[in-house]
Structure 1
Amino acid sequence: MRSTPLARRLMASTLPVAFLIGTASGTAQADPMIARNMSSYGMPGGIDTPTAEVLPDGTLGATVSWSDYARRGNVTFQVLPRLTTVLRYSRVEGINDYRQDGYISDRSFDLRLQILDEQGWRPAIAVGFQDVLGTGIYSGEYIVATKNITPTIRASAGLGWGVLAGKPRTIDVGDEGGTLDADNWFSGSPKPFASVSWQVNERLSLVAEYSNDIYFTRYSSGREYQQGDEEPGSKVNLGAYYSFGRAYQAGLYTIGGDTIGAQLTVALNPREAPYPSGLEKAPAPVRPRPAPAADPEGWSGQWSQDPTAQPAIQTSLGDALDKEGQVLESMALSANRAEVRIDNRRYISQAEAVGRTARLMSRALPPSVETFVITSTAEGMPTSSVTLRRSDVERLENTEASQIASVAALTDAPLRAPGLVRSDEIYPRFQWSIKPYVDLGIFSAEDGLTHEVGAEARASYELMPGLIVTGALRQRAFGNMDQRGPGIPGQRGEHYTAEEYLADPSLETTPEGVPRVRSDSRMYRDNSSPTIPELTLAWYSKPTETVYTRVTGGLLERGYGGVSAEALWKPANSPLAFGAEISHVKKRDFDGLFDFRDYEVTMGHVSAYYEFSQGFAQGFTAQLDVGKYLAGDVGATVSLTREFANGWRIGAYATKTDMSAEEFGEGSFDKGIMLSIPIGWATGQPSRERASTTLRSLSRDGGAQLNVNGRLYDKIRDSHSVELYEGWGRFWR
């Protein structure tokens, strides 16, 4: 098999260097080298140059840097212990585009893999790709080694290509961006770069570096620009960084000795919550059973023949669970066995809800009841059952949670249980809230950071198990997301006014014939009157022990209304799940109320999910969706999400359909980053609420998915094996 040009370049340059340094001492792996500073590109590094350092595993950070050359906003995520990624939005000074503003806005993406860590006299080694999915203004590759010289002095040296070698690549003016340009990776002659950092004390560090970056941009049309006012006067940069606690760092630096820059970094580690132990009330302790001689009637089980016994016990247990933020939906009770079905409404970890329920059962049930069955429910559907021996609960209360996990049995919840009695006054039930909302738009080359702030009233009414009416009402207060039409073809930066767009229905299709299903989303903004983002009736059911279904109808989201139906196969002890969804929707009018526009489509997809529970991918969930999207295009979405035991979820997705890059427009295909942080992580108070967002650079029509609340997989998985056991350490919490 013939090797590619990229492979030959790797074999000829990068890989031999890595081999020579890496074989200086054995191949054993140590803990990754943790970074001291962040570079102006949002990566662990010097000032402008990279190092072989990493952040603590799972860290989510943001770095903002300013200089005469650029203003960069970077979002950093340590995906794995050795894999670091950065999504960047930059204002690059000195370059003109159609707006002639003296700067351009640019998006880029970096990744770095630490292939070896420091061991003995062998340095840590990393290979990185800069601006791997952007336009190419910052395009470059590198291999770098970092070594601790003394406990306070750390040195890095490497070889760089592209901008890191002072040889910026020519940017194709016809490229829509968003695609890999692998043919240029490691091309051209590399040049060395280096940096030294000195940790003066716990808070202050000083950095000196040698950089080849000349801050120059060249386009295929022949246009050339010097970024900033002039090329750096020298190749030496100096910087000082000061840390405030574990999460914040501020820095000042010089570029070439004559340009001053500044930056601020915020880094959040999911494993380091502001309130590590939480602020929730301690659970009631397990109550050991009295000796048989002290309660012979209770041990004999004769109490079960009394028709008033179960109602009294169920009421007492239900009241106790209610104080724990859980609903006792139903209960089956016999002399030796008790099953409770609970709806956890407070704890982000289902294991904590199960553990607190087991404690309360030990206090409420007569001593003859030895078997506890705790069945979790979601939207009225039983999702899994945890079976415990009461004697194990009593014996293991003050031991590690792993011991109770080893004696617990997790099974699919049966559809019905003999003797199951529904608790009184559970249905119908009504819940409501009024909260502020903030919608953010970032990484837009045209608009920069946009926002909308207002108030949202939300309510749900559960008529019976599985039948739920949900609605929301929003009132905008302020923001800069003004209402406007999509961009005018051939006139970059120019948009149809809202009045022009409303007056001409033909504009709701692009010149390429693509329906505008998302690119006119700004038409739904800037409403001075209240809007209804959601008003639905949903029916959840469970036809078999491993199959779940959902049918939702109404105003499904801000842009579309109709009917969506879904089925999911998900055994409680399987990391694998399959689903299918089909929807028929019609486009809502821009006033956000009850009127509709002409466009409608039938769409849907089949899905596969897999939760990794072992190895380096532990904590990751992979998802593949294949089907038809809102604009009628057909393709697939690949998602990868990492979840931590405390509920943090960070992931990324990419969608590619049969829509061409030209039809899709800038970005070539849909992609983004998903972030979901439990509110309780920040407040210390237990809560199932989350702050969630999806960061995408553009709202395009290709690969657009319907946003339906209450999809089955996220409803079901919390109480299934992988997710449940990931959080099992909170069982005794």
Structure 2
Amino acid sequence: MATTLPVALVLGSVSTTAVADPMYSRNMSTFGLPGGIDTPTAETLQDGTLGATVSWSDYGRRSSVVFQALPGLTTVLRYSRVDGINDYRDDGYITDRSLDLRYQVVDEEGWRPAVSIGLQDFLGTGVYSGEYIVATKNVTPSVRVSAGLGWGVLAGEPRTIDIDDEGGTPNIDEWFRGGARPFASVSWQVNDRLNLVAEYSNNDYLARYSNGEVFQQGKEPDSGLNLGAFYRFGQNYEVGAYTIGGNTVGAQFTIALNPREAPYPSGLEKAPAPVRPRPAPSADPEGWSGTWAQDPSAQPAIQTALGEAMSKEGQTLESMALSANRAEVRMRNRRYVSQAEAIGRTARLMTRALPPSVETFVITSTADGIPTSSVTVRRSDVERLENTEAGQIANAAALSDAPAGAPGLVPSEGVYPRFRWSIKPYLTLGVFSAEDGLTYEVGAEGRASYEVAPGVVLTGALRQRAFGNIEHRGPAIPSDPEFCEAYGRCGRGEYFTPEEYEANPALETTPEGVPRVRSDSRMYTGNSDPVIPELTLAWYAKPAPTVYTRVTGGLLERAFGGVSAEVLWKPANSPLALGAEVNRVRKRDFDQLFEFRDYEVTMGHVSAYYEFAQGFTAQLDVGKYLAGDKGATVTLTREFANGWRIGAYATKTDLSAEEFGEGSFDKGVTLSIPLGWATGQATRERVDADVRSLSRDGGAQLNVRDRLYDQVRDSHSVKLYEGWGRFWR
């Protein structure tokens, strides 16, 4: 560093590259977050950025997913192949999952550098475990310097890994302990594309285990000096090459997406119909007088015309109440991610379809046939504010709870019963399995729904596998002498065959007495014959203006069938919601048809939801889970105005870490991206993922479609107004 830093300062002083404000990352480290090469920096990504980095070197292969959860909070979930370490497979490497958190305490301002505090691999087995405090400063417009203190692997003092530890719990007693050593890096932004990095690192790539074994991960570095070059192309991609310790080379690839930077920011949907101002009273005296309302043929004609116009905009006019000066439409949004856009387009069409005397518009949103909220706005405000910012029409409108029924509502013809169907390919991926690596299954799924009446929906799906490497397999054979002797094999990497598992019902309970509700999930995969993942009849109702109910019966998910009942209290103008759910379910047979196994359970939970600023929603579920264990689940989700949702959850129950097994407790990350964000086409279709490292029995929830909270909140205050900027779209 003594020679590299002065040279970089001299060369960088002639560059005219602008300094980022705030201090955003110039490149990603091999650990998948803003940094040098192996060392961290105090940089961040743009708020809300979701990215992935894959790096290769003689020390291993790391696949990381990074999310800038807050402007100062960076999170990383990492899956690594760590070379040079042996386990029961004797492959010369292990696979490891780890989680990092970094918080930027202060950003750069004047003479003050940006400062961050980080925890590296604080929930994994500890191969990469370390903590740090780091500062980063722009010394010229193109040269940036970082220096910090590191503990654990960042100080060249790897933590001792307990071979009996199930993992998944924070090693708090070791944080910022064991001696600290300095690290540093310098980056030179040659131009808008190329960034050169030099750093001093203490990582010697050793792993120490509690049984006394010490492993060298690849070659021992000849020195602490690492050099790298990183090149950005396009808006979202980066490639890099680097040397570690002077004797090892590596490469990496990064992709980063920001929800606020869609490929088609304005969308590709057609422009809405313009607002039609009313004619002067002298030009239409009958329309202004309201005498038209006495004609019994007026409402059917108006309702038919408005319904046809709304259908072209992707909305369904379910019912309508019309008088001389007021009109209420109840509509279902079938096209737009933002409910505000659907409401705005409906308001425009009402100005074109309704006689001039109608001054009050009430637009009531529905979900699954039940009303969720009403937006009331004066027609004159719609006419007056069309070409202003959306905030003005928001101030002029009133949001209220919608009653189940309303005087004068007339159902639209041909809306119920309604049949819909689709046939699409499906792809199932497994990406964080330490045993199997990347797994996949590809096939076709046919799905149909029949809405018998408002709130009554029959839904079913049929799947046919085409190919994949997710095969039928029983759970792992316990490392117990009884099982070793009975099956002639046991321990990690050994599994019951499907035939062995089905032949002995006693195996459907673990040796610790926990029913296998998820750890035998591979028994539900790999079927070459058609399967029925879901077949249900659901009834949705609204017994009070702020109370919603759901009862669903049938084959609820691929592994369980039965009855699920739910009630939700959710005022339209409140960020708080309370709910309760109870389920009586039985385990389905592994062929996923109509037969059941012996295990059944009554489980459920009470829930509290709260919507904070910046799109954050917190959820707390307390109750009983599928395996009969009792505990609580905490979920934190962030949703952006364009529909991106990213969340994390953790469940702790009365099962001990030993009873739960590897991972100690259930946890995971959820991701939901609207398909329209990438294609530019208006659609409510989504790409969803639930990323969890393990599938265990403790804390297992039932997977029921269309739970009430997500169905209702689209048209309620917090989420509705976050997307209100699309009212005039």
> Do the aligned residues in 2 keep the contact of 1:51 with 1:144 (CA within 8 Å)?
yes
**Structure 2 residue aligned with 1:23:** none
1-structure distance, mates of 2:172, 2:329: 57
Alignment of 1:236-315 (within 5 A): 236-315=225-304
Aligned partner (choices 343, 347, 355) of residue 354 of structure 1: 343
Is 1:605 matched up with 2:586?
no
2-structure distance, mates of 1:300, 1:598: 70
**Structure 2 residue aligned with 1:696:** 692
Offset from partner CA, 1:180-224 (integer Å, 9 cap, x none): 111100102211101111111111111111000000000011111
2-structure distance, mates of 1:612, 1:603: 29
- The one-letter amino acid paired with 1:155 is V
**Structure 1 residue aligned with 2:494:** 494
**1:104 counterpart SS class:** strand
Offset from partner CA, 1:511-545 (integer Å, 9 cap, x none): 00100000000001111111100000000000000
The TM-score, its normalising length taken from structure 1, stands at 0.95
Alignment of 1:471-482 (within 5 A): 471-482=460-471
- The one-letter amino acid paired with 1:233 is D
Aligned partner (choices 426, 432, 435) of residue 443 of structure 1: 432
Offset from partner CA, 1:334-369 (integer Å, 9 cap, x none): 000000000001000000000000000000000000
- The one-letter amino acid paired with 1:397 is E
**1:542 counterpart SS class:** strand
Runs of 4+ in structure 1 off by over 6 angstroms are: none
**Structure 2 residue aligned with 1:53:** 43
- The one-letter amino acid paired with 1:604 is G
2-structure distance, mates of 1:628, 1:486: 23
Alignment of 1:459-478 (within 5 A): 459-478=448-467
**Structure 1 residue aligned with 2:4:** none
Alignment of 1:453-602 (within 5 A): 453-490=442-479, 491-602=491-602
2-structure distance, mates of 1:483, 1:32: 51
- 1:480 Cα deviation from its structure 2 partner: 1.0
- The one-letter amino acid paired with 1:705 is Q
Is 1:417 matched up with 2:390?
no
1-structure distance, mates of 2:21, 2:634: 30
> Do the aligned residues in 2 keep the contact of 1:32 with 1:82 (CA within 8 Å)?
no
Aligned pairs, number: 699
- 1:167 Cα deviation from its structure 2 partner: 0.6
1-structure distance, mates of 2:718, 2:179: 48
Q: What percentage of residue pairs aligned between the two structures are identical?
A: 78
2-structure distance, mates of 1:512, 1:418: 60
**Structure 2 residue aligned with 1:659:** 655
**Structure 2 residue aligned with 1:433:** 422
1-structure distance, mates of 2:305, 2:337: 25
- The one-letter amino acid paired with 1:487 is A
Aligned partner (choices 701, 705, 709) of residue 705 of structure 2: 709
**Structure 1 residue aligned with 2:212:** 222
Larger CA deviation: 409-418 vs 98-107:
409-418
Root mean square deviation, CA, Å: 0.7
Larger CA deviation: 149-158 vs 50-59:
149-158
- 1:325 Cα deviation from its structure 2 partner: 0.7
Is 1:639 matched up with 2:629?
no
- The one-letter amino acid paired with 2:537 is L
**2:694 counterpart SS class:** coil
- The one-letter amino acid paired with 2:207 is T
The unaligned stretches of length 5 or more in structure 2 are 1-19, 480-490
**Structure 1 residue aligned with 2:97:** 107
> Do the aligned residues in 2 keep the contact of 1:32 with 1:81 (CA within 8 Å)?
no
Aligned partner (choices 117, 121, 124) of residue 131 of structure 1: 121
**Structure 2 residue aligned with 1:26:** none
2-structure distance, mates of 1:699, 1:512: 17
> Do the aligned residues in 2 keep the contact of 1:203 with 1:244 (CA within 8 Å)?
yes
- 1:477 Cα deviation from its structure 2 partner: 1.1
Offset from partner CA, 1:537-558 (integer Å, 9 cap, x none): 0000000000000000000000
**2:37 counterpart SS class:** coil
**2:98 counterpart SS class:** strand
- The one-letter amino acid paired with 2:515 is P
- 1:235 Cα deviation from its structure 2 partner: 0.6
2-structure distance, mates of 1:435, 1:44: 38
- 1:495 Cα deviation from its structure 2 partner: 0.4
Offset from partner CA, 1:262-302 (integer Å, 9 cap, x none): 10001010000010000001000000000001001000001
Is 1:452 matched up with 2:425?
no
2-structure distance, mates of 1:449, 1:150: 44
**1:188 counterpart SS class:** coil
> Do the aligned residues in 2 keep the contact of 1:384 with 1:572 (CA within 8 Å)?
yes
Offset from partner CA, 1:555-589 (integer Å, 9 cap, x none): 00000000000000000000000000000000011
Aligned partner (choices 383, 386, 393) of residue 372 of structure 2: 383
2-structure distance, mates of 1:31, 1:594: 60
2-structure distance, mates of 1:452, 1:659: 32
2-structure distance, mates of 1:459, 1:606: 31
2-structure distance, mates of 1:354, 1:378: 14
- The one-letter amino acid paired with 2:723 is G
- 1:31 Cα deviation from its structure 2 partner: 5.6
**1:125 counterpart SS class:** strand
- 1:32 Cα deviation from its structure 2 partner: 3.6
**Structure 2 residue aligned with 1:157:** 147
2-structure distance, mates of 1:31, 1:577: 38
**2:311 counterpart SS class:** helix
- The one-letter amino acid paired with 1:598 is D
1-structure distance, mates of 2:277, 2:198: 65
2-structure distance, mates of 1:537, 1:32: 52
- The one-letter amino acid paired with 1:631 is A
1-structure distance, mates of 2:124, 2:512: 24
Is 1:327 matched up with 2:316?
yes
Offset from partner CA, 1:618-665 (integer Å, 9 cap, x none): 210000000000000000000000000000000000000000100000
2-structure distance, mates of 1:606, 1:31: 45
Is 1:69 matched up with 2:94?
no
2-structure distance, mates of 1:536, 1:58: 37
